[in-house]
Structure 1
Amino acid sequence: MTSSFQNNDMEINMKKSFPLFYKLLISFIVCGIIPLIIISILIYGLSVRFINDMIYEQTRLNLTNMHQELNVILKDYEDIMITLQSDETIMNALSNDLTKNNENKIYEKIYDALKNRTGKPPLYILNTTGDVIFSTNPLPHIYETGIKNNWGIFREVTQGNDGTTTIYPQKINYEEGKSSLLSMGRKILDSKGNPIGYVIIDVYRDTIINIFRPHINGVPIHIVVLDDYDYTVLDIQNPNMEGKFQNATYLNHAKDIEFKGFFSELERDSYLTISYKDTYSKTTTIANVHSNIFHQLNGIVKTLLIIGCFISLLICCLISIVLAEHISNPMKQLIYIMSKVEKGDFSAYTSFNRNDEIGALGTYFNQMVLQLKKYLDRLMEEQNKLRVTEIKMLQAQINPHFLYNTLDVIKWSAKLNKTEEVTSIVTNLAKILRNSIDCEEEYVSVRKSIEFINSYLAIQKIKYNDKFDVNIDIDPSILELKTLRLILQPFIENAIIHGLTYIDHTGLITIIGEKDGDDIIFYIIDNGVGMTEDTIKRISKSTNDNHIGIYNVDKRIKLYYGDKYGVHIESIEEKGTKVTIKIPYLTGGDNQYD
């Protein structure tokens, strides 16, 4: 009973507890997610830093390349000016020795110098008073005024060192719709080193744009070129700002970006400002990259990471399910097999076919069940031997007194020449003795059990001179069913000896056998002296010689079939006793209730 309660408690606790499968599944998923989250954060941080650094470095590289290409052109223009500056024909013309022939030669030299040059820039050669002019374009008004007042590029060239090129940022619009942004100038000196004129080249805006544009195509970048005084030399997106003071806060070229954190991102609607100072052209180019490009690229990285994390999580879940089932399913199988073993099915065994600890557990469990089955088989064999011994003891209890009394009856019947009685007694005694010899069998049919009772009663009626009658009513449907040996005789003997011997009227023993559902009920009823309740309790639990048979029958029935079966005695003093024997409905010899 205690074991049953414990098993029930264990089943309830297992139902209430969290299944092992889900514990393993959650553990595996958590173990997979934590590294995934850490790696994703690290990858995102590195990606953000890489993207920011890449754009920063690429933009700076583009600025460097733009100015390198621009300086190549500017130095090419400088070489033109150096060639013209040292030409004797030009020097003589500027020294008031100008002839028509010289003028043609000078223009030929100018056009030869500009031949195959990028952009064919406007070129001007002037004396110090502006009277002698050689030019490829009409002289801009700003030069006419500048040379007379010695300001603008002429002042810068005059104040500059001899033999150097002055680059002067200024915007000049031409009649054909073009404009220039930079002017380059050199002094022309006579043989004594005195300035006698200037050679000027203007750099077209389109020339600079054509250099810059290939480096910014497809990139949301704002390029602004400033002079030393923060006046706008070039503004690709806002040409109207060219020549004006630039006061936009986001163009503060001293504000180079600094990435202070591992996960730093530019705020939205902000700019990454990178400046490049060109010492040759004495200009500063500022590149302003809008933060949208950072957020777009970072958004792509986020999307890829989210997709990657989702796919990784899905794979992690699938692997976790497989691993959890790989571990938990054998446990479920083992629990199921244990429940079968608990119910008495020792043919159940595990078949994990694994070389790990779970496989070893299954192997040891199978060995344990096999050993337990061997032990129980040995125990059942010993119990069977014990049952046979009990039957023999019960039979031995019957035989001595009964045999002595029966032989005594035969003797007196023979003396009285009661041949028929002697024949009947001997015949029935032989049947009883044959039944005693075959006591190795635990089960007999109801028919054989009744035949034994008839033989026993035939002898007892002769012994007691027909002092009692017998009425046997057995349902024919149960005659071939199996029952335990000697479960009726002890109660019939008790009814005769203790119930009918001392009455002064004819006794009656009624034996009834019938089917009741899945059970068989035997009733043994007598009209003898009866018993008190105390006497019933005493003989039901007594092991003394007078009542050991009654006690043994009830004990054997319960041992073979369970506590729901057994013997029940009812009795009323001076009226009689009713014994009820209840056993299961068995069709074969095997004990179905072991």
Structure 2
Amino acid sequence: MVKKYRLNIRLKIIYISIVILFVFVLAILRYAFNRSRNLLIQQEIGIISQVMNRNELAVEEVMDAVRKLSAVSNTHKQIASLLNESYKDQLYSSENASRIRSLEEELLFYKNIFMDYRIHYVIMGADGTIYSIADGIENSAMFGKQLLESVKQQAWFHEFMEKERVSCWVAPCMYDKKGVIKEEGDPHILFVRRIQDYNTQKYLGVSIVSFPIDNFSELLTPYGNGGLMLLNQENQPVYTRDSENYFEGVNVEDLTAQFNKGQGHFYFDKQNVSYLVNYQKVEDCGWYLVNMIPIMVTTQAVDHFYRSITGLVFLIALAAAAVCLAMYIYINAPLNRLVRRVSSVNIGGTRVSEAAEISRPSFGIAETEMEINRMVDYIEELSAQALKQRDIEQNLRYEMLRAQLNPHFLFNTLNIIKWSAMMSGAANIADMITSLGILLENTMNRGEKETALREEIKVVKAWAEIKNWGLKNRIQIYCEIPDDLLDFRVISFFLQPLVENAVLHGMNGQENGEIRIQAEREDMGVCVSVHDNGSGIDAQTLERICRELDGEYKRRHVTGIGLKSIHELMKTKYGPEYGLTIESDKMMGTTVYALFPDREDKHNAESNDRG
């Protein structure tokens, strides 16, 4: 009988109104805070753009100072004259040293005019003479020589000289304090210029102005606590300032692919975190400045306020619901008795309050109590019927599985007798009938579902005697069973199919077949194993057998006549962790394991506890 219980219309209206109001307020709050959040982000974008413009001006000032300092070697007449003197014949060494010192003093003078930061300024004359100014280097001449030797080995320098380019930027360039270019050294920005006489355009040498990238730490400042990166024309990082590792794991190409103007911004997601990325192009050289900062850092104040307001709205909604609930409890006191009644219902030996979900009480008057009581009685009766039906089905399944084994065994035995009589005459019929009598006696006299392990061994040996008549005594049975396990209770007639399967599938063509039956106690119970010295099973066949058995991959598998029925029978009777498994390797034989629960140990332990 199905009944519909109607809710009190007033309580319906109250709860629906609370829900609608709550949703409406949340929607308004979300809209207002999202708008405020977007306005704050736009404001932050403007501030970041100003910071990026200042950083761009700082980079341009450095590069402009480097270019001016490098241009001195081309435009200054005295420097050009000193470089030209290297072509004069019979120039005394003292005069040459004085010329080099004079040129380096001129370079140092202009370096102090154009550049306040530590730099390295090296000129290689057309005759190979080296002029060097190296801040922080003790042996400037040796440093300049090493640096120029390393530069001349670089591919970009050969390209620069072959194409007779006027100037070029190289960044980053790594070299140590001795001037040797290495993969792991101090990063520098090199500006290389070809030196030519201003009037005659005569080639006078090459100048290299090297600006240590560490100097940028005093010039470039990221916004807030974000990360700042300077990229060259090939989108390679030249300088990075990233204390929070925001750029870690980011592919630079993914960032530069979103550059579409000289400056701008976009949003970038990394590891479920959204970042605000601002970029600014350095017009003089085509490099880019990139600033990256999490959006939640810029909007944390608004987000915190939004969470606080949302939590307050939730508390108000919960308070309203609590008031309605208090009113419901006060008005519907009789329903409290229903809750106690339903919680005491017993279904299959288990209280409903512990194992089942109790339906929500209907809102209404005391008459509802009578209807729900009838429903509870009906559920209890229905549950008892369901449990009874489940037990019947489980017993039926158990008996059906057992029925699959005995006819199969008797059929195979009669076949052996028939063929033995036809092939060897009547002399051996008596012995075979004797063995068959043992089998039939055990089959018909055992009404119980379990028997002692010693009886199973007796059946297997009788079957082997019959089988050996057809196989000319090729099968030898060896039993290694401890005395304390001979009376261990196992499923009736489970062992003979295991031995028969070993003979049929594992010993086909085997001259001297050996089957060893062993039993031992393990952590999970008692394991009975049947091992043969047959041909074994290949890995592909084992995998197929696994899928056919229970659809799960295992190292051990089950196959053969009657074995699947035994496996299902053991799982049904003892539980899913028990049953048959098999281990096999090609040409190494096969071992079938039958795992039973050690109920006797548990029984003994319980007896000892009682004692």
State the TM-score, normalizing by the size of structure 2: 0.36
Greater Rg by CA: 1
